[in-house]
Amino acid sequence: MAERVGVALGGGAGGAGAKPPGSRGARGHRLMVPPPGYKFIPRTEQVCQEMGCFECYDIYCERCESKDRRIIELEMRNTELVKHITLLQARLFPRDGQGPGARPNASGAGAGGEPFAYVQSPVMYDPGMGIQQRRLPDVGWKEDDIQLLLEEMASFDTNNFQGNVGVGEREGRIISDLVRRRHFGLTHGIGRSGDVMAEQPKAAGSSLIVQLTKYLALDAIRLAGIKAVKACAVLPAATGLTMTLVFLALRQMRPQGRYVVWSRIDQKSCFKAIGAAGLEPVVVELKPIEGTDALGTDIDGMRAAIERVGADKVLCICTTTSTFAPRVPDFIDEVALMATKLDVPHVINNAYGLQCSKCTHLIETGCRRGRVDAFVQSTDKNFMVPVGGAIVAGPSSALVDKVSSLYPGRASMGPVLDLFITLLSLGASGWTGLLQERKDNAKWFEDRLSSVSQKLGLRVLKVPANRISFCVDINALGRSQQSGEEDDMDHLTFLGSALFTRRVSGPRVVLCTPSPASAGKETVAVQPESSQTGSVKVKGKYRKVIDGTPFECYGAHTDAYPCCYLTAACAIGAERKEMDCFLERFEAAVQDYRSGAGRKDKAPAKPVLGS
């Protein structure tokens, strides 16, 4: 229709025949007087034929249209990128009814039956590689395949786009090429300001790695024996800080809670995590387990502590699985039942317990029989990666999601990437093989340690429920000397330094003074009696004050233990040749001690005749 064709206005103030400003047409309509370069576009099929009529025409600008077209092009590119990422996620995390762990069809097609052809690396879509199934591959990947995958993932981040122009304050810029290669170009970190597990639009590849790592970690936890786990988050924080985040998340969910009922373990991280969250610890002492040398959970003492302060004011019960002997894992199943009856949350410090079937069985039983809100484990102690990461997991997602949303800002990609690479390289067979190897080595090491100790006139303490840590009673070494027993016990620390100088790391020498009067106490945080925060010789020879709470015989998990001892652990990744070498050097250190090495009370040198 002729009326629909835009009429160009020439140069000047509207072209020939233009009406003066404010004039009206034949029908009385007000007329527009546009600047040069504009057109009038009819708004309706029937117009008044008066060019510039407000009611019949729209004004059109060629310059504005060119800008609009550029915006539209950018939006279209962004839409295509979103579709590409969505398709990629659909292939990696299928939602077509197969569910997690389901096998894709033989053609490798994803949701909707389309072939997965949006990436170049075969490791992304090869069903035999296992990545599409949200679980560990059956067999670990080769390093070349892992590197190819990481490079492909990194290409999805905007900082690696060819021709990308970043004008924000944080665009993943890296000045050192060595640093860039160390991180595979994944420089945006993980999460967003509101949730550390959220996806970043500028970092699609990094976000995919975060999600994949979460699923691989879940599968690894299940393979270790905790089948009841339903959710987890891999955080770039070590175990102690992650425990603090869990307590802070619980505090938002349970604002009236101010106490953490804590079964004593003489390891500072978890205890200091309570204070860092602004909470008050209620320390419940352990009790001896009849027929053994072990120390275990005082269930009655824990229940009494909760009733004394009030269950509604208890933020949570904090228990521990992995620990130095002679302490054994807390009775998780019994505590979980008590937590259910008293309606109190239950958090487990499972620092290096994921490698031990005894610990994972306790957590699995607790999840199924009672209440377990979350359990935290270290990535470095269980998966042999650099220090700096932890996994918070649970039988439900409520607390795990709360911890993720509580984390302030974005976070480092490093710990997540380390775990991702390690889990892919291990695969299911490699991971379960390491777990079984550690279990076999623990039994072998206990037998060898008993044999060497017996040869030296010592004995291995009977702590059958702790399958990671073992301890040797070294009181006989002190009593074998001529001087007083008390001083000799002080000198037993020489064993630790002698082993360290022999390049043996890990053993701990714990000095204890039996003090029945102080046993079985229950402690609430108090002000220290001394301004000194280290070991103080007041009311107990080996006393330590931590965050205002005093502990007698610190390191022994109790205020009174009948002997001094040395601990050694058989952790995941340890080899028998290492442990054999330790036993040889331990024997040499004991012989040095018995010959008087390192003792302050050595007999003075005899004067030379004639002097």
Does 92 have pLDDT greater than 70?
no
Find the mean pLDDT for residues 571-593: 92
Tell me which residue of 559, 555, 571 sits closest to 265, measured CA to CA. Answer: 555
| Residue 82, pLDDT score | 67
CB-based contacts of 31-37 (< 8 A; 24+ apart in sequence): 32/57, 32/59, 34/9, 34/59, 36/9, 36/10, 36/11, 36/12, 37/61, 37/62, 37/63
For the ranges 182-196, 240-254, 307-321, 367-381, the lowest mean pLDDT is seen at 182-196
| Residue 179, pLDDT score | 86
The Cα–Cα gap between 442 and 460 comes to 14
Confidence of residue 100 (pLDDT cuts 50, 70, 90): very low
Confidence of residue 111 (pLDDT cuts 50, 70, 90): very low
Domains of the chain, CATH where assigned: 127-159+177-426 (3.40.640.10), 434-515+540-595 (3.90.1150.10)
Find the mean pLDDT for residues 322-329: 92
The Cα–Cα gap between 578 and 44 comes to 89
> What is the reported pTM?
0.74
Instruction: Report H helices in 310-356.
Output: 332-342
Mean pLDDT estimate for the chain: 79
| Residue 479, pLDDT score | 66
| Residue 264, pLDDT score | 93
Q: How do beta strands 390-394 and 535-536 pair?
A: unpaired
Give the start-end residues of each E strand in 187-245: 231-235
Classify each residue of 544-579 as buried b or exposed e, where b means 16 or more C-beta atoms within 10 Å of its C-beta.
bbbeebbbbbbbbbbbbbebbbbbbbbbbebeeeeb
**Between the CA of residue 405 and those of 170, 239, 264, 373, what are the distances in Å?**
21, 18, 30, 16
The Cα–Cα gap between 19 and 215 comes to 71
Does 520 have pLDDT greater than 80?
no
The Cα–Cα gap between 246 and 374 comes to 8
| Residue 523, pLDDT score | 40
Tell me which residue of 406, 418, 422 sits closest to 186, measured CA to CA. Answer: 418
| Residue 22, pLDDT score | 47
Does 541 have pLDDT greater than 50?
yes
The Cα–Cα gap between 230 and 397 comes to 7
Using one digit for the tens of pLDDT, what is the confidence trace for 208-229? Answer: 888 899 999 999 999 999 999 9
More confident residue, 189 or 449: 449
Does 536 have pLDDT greater than 60?
no
Q: Could you tell me if 78 and 84 are in contact, meaning their C-beta atoms sit under 8 angstroms apart? A: no
The Cα–Cα gap between 165 and 386 comes to 34
The Cα–Cα gap between 419 and 228 comes to 22
| Residue 514, pLDDT score | 63
Confidence of residue 497 (pLDDT cuts 50, 70, 90): confident
Other beta carbons within 10 Å of 280: 17
What percentage of the chain carries pLDDT values higher than 70? Answer: 73
Does 538 have pLDDT greater than 50?
no
The Cα–Cα gap between 293 and 461 comes to 6
CB-based contacts of 307-313 (< 8 A; 24+ apart in sequence): 309/259, 309/261, 309/282, 311/342, 311/343, 311/344, 312/256, 312/257, 313/256, 313/257, 313/258, 313/259
Q: How do beta strands 287-288 and 280-284 pair?
A: unpaired
Q: Could you tell me if 190 and 199 are in contact, meaning their C-beta atoms sit under 8 angstroms apart? A: no
The Cα–Cα gap between 131 and 127 comes to 7
Top-confidence range, 65-74, 109-118, 269-278, 552-561: 269-278
Confidence of residue 181 (pLDDT cuts 50, 70, 90): confident
More confident residue, 580 or 121: 580
Question: Cα(first)–Cα(last) distance of the chain, in Å?
Answer: 131
What percentage of the chain carries pLDDT values higher than 90? Answer: 44
The H or E element containing residue 348 is strand 346-349
Using one digit for the tens of pLDDT, what is the confidence trace for 384-437? Answer: 999 999 999 999 999 999 998 888 877 888 899 999 999 999 999 999 999 999
